[in-house]
Structure 1
């Protein structure tokens, strides 16, 4: 195993693959570097002397400048490095050409999914229950408790039992040190309905904010209704909110053209008594579940997969192992005629020109630039900016600037042509790779990916994050083996073997696609599903990075 590497031949920063001590002589690209400081694994060090203002390169891109003189072999830190990103324009640099990966092993493969009337295929069969406004959250939770108890989804709360045991021991004057957690929580399955699940969403939107926020919420929910993993929905409305039923219906028409799935709407102010509202919603939803349960999984080509590409809790290895592996899977999906969606626009800062070159479409290039610049301005208007994107956890594990983070994050999108550029809530309709404007916030971005049609999400992490989604399986991909071993309850796939030199990116990508096929067919469940991690946060434009 190498002790350190560069990612591109033009890079002037090295990446430590293991903890390295001051005084160690490191061979990088045939050149011996004497380390002048301890360098932690995942962190970067100077391959030559930098004067103040000199540009630093990784992935062949500018990722920062030296705040002051930095000597060869010294660590790159927030104290000596300032954010700087590569400039870009709408003009493409030369004719883009792409060599697709060999997908012969997968060309005749299928997954078992749920076929919809519009030609899409779901990896799950979910009846969705959600409110149009936060005022209905309590009623949503009432429905949730009623259905989960009746259908056998109700959790046995091992942690409540653990806490009760502590109370009992304390009351009896006994030591609590020997009290242990005796069982883990797992998602029970309904014995009545084998082919359909019921899931519930709550949120804090729909009224009280701007009309734009409510309109955006309705478009997002319309995308969830169109997502092939959803078979039908129950909607609770108070009646007087900004997010009107008519607004949702208009959004559905804009997204789908026609409503091809059952949509049950219950308005509390129109109904009157809350008990009547709940009773009607339970009865009609149960009828919907009976019909939805008649749909069974059938074989579908891999072209019916829409893969969301996400990262969160990233580290200095994410852009070397996990993200490039996702990029290879994205390229394979594109070669097979499927769809992939790359989101998180703040984490594309500095790689804009590379992405623009891959559009081969002036309209798409101009839309991408417009969205990026508008987003950057809205962040600056509230006293922030893309340069503030790296989190304390990112910085601690080697991602010093936003451009450095972005250069690695963009690797999730592989190298295929970009076929479309989507604003938040726009739906992915074209085979190949699309760019989707979302924030870098894990849950807001994942929420947006599913609203734009992702029926599976691949989510890389170097630090560990439990993020999930109510209707789409999220596969958590570890950038390093230590994380996979430390947090096995949330990690589905470990790409640390790439760092260790045990597997290549293509080998890891093929292994990952095989795992996706099993998840999409319902043969296994993702860790997020097993942990009942069902996150849903609509994005309020201009607030989040």
Structure 2
């Protein structure tokens, strides 16, 4: 196994693939340098002496400038490196893409749920949606009733643990409580026997709909419309108070915009005109049950892989993200695009410094100009509230080697592979063009994942170096560890270990192919992801301009 890596021939830094002790001699390009201090795995050290203002290059792009003298072989840290990135401008170069060989998958299919509008779902859910946070409690009542009544409720292992602790307390055995260590529960796929063709009933609890700006409530309606229109959704039950900003009529207009012939069942209940709460909820439960009897008639049938729409996401990133899991799913993206499928790359604050590459990959100037406009508007809004993209890396990112936003971004962009950018989507716009789509979202894991699914992703590939317990209510989220240590430490949330790229056991292309095989099984319902088994149903709408 190599102990260090130069990611790109232009780079003037190396990445430690394992802890490198102080004093170790590094041989690189015929020269020798001695490490001035211990370099932890995932961190970087320069191959030449750097003076304040000198550029630091990784992935072949500018990722920062030295803020203090850095000797070759010295660790790069927040104390000697500051964020900097290349500027960007209009599309100025043509782009040629060498498609990967996809003959192995050319005639492959997955078993999906075919919708009347031509979309194909990887799951079949009924959705319950509140138009405003005032209805969250009522949604909770429906959630408890249906999940328990239909057998979709999460495991009650923790309730059992509390009961055991109560019994120990009543017996007066406090020492037994202190030493109490229950066995870990086995994650099981609880299948419903009443509606075997329905994967569950899901609930989009949120804190919006009123009290904010009209822009926020309109965006919320557009996002909810994307979820109802989504191929993984058979229909929806909508609860409205009546007086909120996010009116049902706005939601209905958003649905018609997505599909003028929209005909999924959408059951609407407005509390302020329904009489008693009991009457409204009883009617909603009865009508929802009847609608689910119809949704249950749909069965999985073969569909081409071109009907798969993958969201490309990362969270809890580390110094290995950009050299293992991210480029691996980037290759998966290239494979799917070559098969006629669609992929979505989001998190615009984490594309800082690689904008020009993406601009030049756009299929035309209109697409490139839209990306430029959205990026500049987003950056300006962030700066107007006293922030900026440079503030994106979290303490965990920095601790594990992502010192600047540009370092993080250069690695994060690898999730998009090498294919052309066929479309650029603003927040809540729906993906309609096959190929790689760029979607404007924050870098926040849940906000971004929520948006990718709202734009049509029926599976999300989520890379993590630190361990992020994130899922989505209606789309399977596949969690990929960037390093084997994480996969072994948190096996209950990790689906795929890409650490074999770091160890040299597999190439990026080989891992990308393995991931596509896994995706086909997930899409067909043969595999339930760890996030699904743990009922990680995270959903957070984005309030524009507030989040990075």
TM-score range, shorter chain: over 0.9
Other structure's SS at 1:319 match = helix
Partner of residue 126, structure 1: 125
Task: Choose from 308, 320, 323 the match for 2:323.
Answer: 320
CA–CA distance in structure 2, aligned partners of residues 241 and 90 of structure 1: 42
Structural mapping, 1:216-235, within 5 Å = 216-235=219-238
Other structure's SS at 1:464 match = coil
| TM superposition shift of 1:56 | 0.3
Partner of residue 181, structure 1: 182
Q: Which moved more, 1:459-468 or 1:196-205?
A: 196-205
CA–CA distance in structure 1, aligned partners of residues 212 and 223 of structure 2: 16
Partner of residue 473, structure 1: 476
Partner of residue 192, structure 1: 194
Task: Choose from 289, 292, 297 the match for 1:289.
Answer: 292
Q: Deviations over 1:451-497 (max 9, x none)?
A: 00000000000000010000000000000000000000000011000
CA–CA distance in structure 2, aligned partners of residues 542 and 366 of structure 1: 20
| TM superposition shift of 1:187 | 5.2
CA–CA distance in structure 2, aligned partners of residues 26 and 87 of structure 1: 33
Partner of residue 169, structure 1: 168
| TM superposition shift of 1:23 | 0.4
Residue 509 (1) aligns with residue 512 (2): yes
Contact kept in structure 1, 2:154 and 2:534, CA below 8 Å: no
Q: Which moved more, 1:309-318 or 1:155-164?
A: 155-164
TM value normalised by structure 1 = 0.98
TM value normalised by structure 2 = 0.98
- Over 6 Å off, 4+ runs: none
CA–CA distance in structure 1, aligned partners of residues 505 and 545 of structure 2: 43
| TM superposition shift of 1:388 | 0.4
Q: Which moved more, 1:295-304 or 1:193-202?
A: 193-202
Partner of residue 24, structure 2: 24
Q: Deviations over 1:110-136 (max 9, x none)?
A: 100000111110000011001000000
Contact kept in structure 1, 2:430 and 2:456, CA below 8 Å: yes
Contact kept in structure 2, 1:70 and 1:80, CA below 8 Å: yes
Task: Choose from 404, 413, 416 the match for 2:416.
Answer: 413
Task: Rate the CA distance shift 1:156–1:357 in 2: closer, same or farther, 3 A.
Answer: closer
| TM superposition shift of 1:186 | 4.4
| TM superposition shift of 1:382 | 1.1
Residue 341 (1) aligns with residue 340 (2): no
CA–CA distance in structure 2, aligned partners of residues 366 and 48 of structure 1: 38
Contact kept in structure 1, 2:467 and 2:486, CA below 8 Å: yes
Partner of residue 136, structure 2: 137
Structure 2 unmatched runs, 5+: none
Contact kept in structure 1, 2:121 and 2:232, CA below 8 Å: yes
Partner of residue 490, structure 1: 493
Partner of residue 55, structure 2: 55
| TM superposition shift of 1:254 | 1.1
| TM superposition shift of 1:163 | 2.7
CA–CA distance in structure 1, aligned partners of residues 482 and 81 of structure 2: 24
Q: Deviations over 1:398-425 (max 9, x none)?
A: 0000000000000000000000000000
Contact kept in structure 2, 1:459 and 1:474, CA below 8 Å: yes
CA–CA distance in structure 1, aligned partners of residues 373 and 431 of structure 2: 19
RMSD: 1.0
CA–CA distance in structure 2, aligned partners of residues 421 and 183 of structure 1: 44
Residue 400 (1) aligns with residue 403 (2): yes
| TM superposition shift of 1:149 | 1.5
Residue 370 (1) aligns with residue 369 (2): no
CA–CA distance in structure 2, aligned partners of residues 129 and 207 of structure 1: 18
Other structure's SS at 2:64 match = strand
Structural mapping, 1:233-252, within 5 Å = 233-252=236-255
Partner of residue 253, structure 1: 256
Structure 1 unmatched runs, 5+: none
| TM superposition shift of 1:336 | 0.1
| TM superposition shift of 1:200 | 1.2
Contact kept in structure 1, 2:352 and 2:406, CA below 8 Å: yes
Partner of residue 429, structure 1: 432
CA–CA distance in structure 2, aligned partners of residues 223 and 163 of structure 1: 39
CA–CA distance in structure 2, aligned partners of residues 182 and 44 of structure 1: 40
Partner of residue 44, structure 1: 44
CA–CA distance in structure 2, aligned partners of residues 429 and 26 of structure 1: 50
CA–CA distance in structure 1, aligned partners of residues 29 and 470 of structure 2: 38
CA–CA distance in structure 2, aligned partners of residues 45 and 379 of structure 1: 31
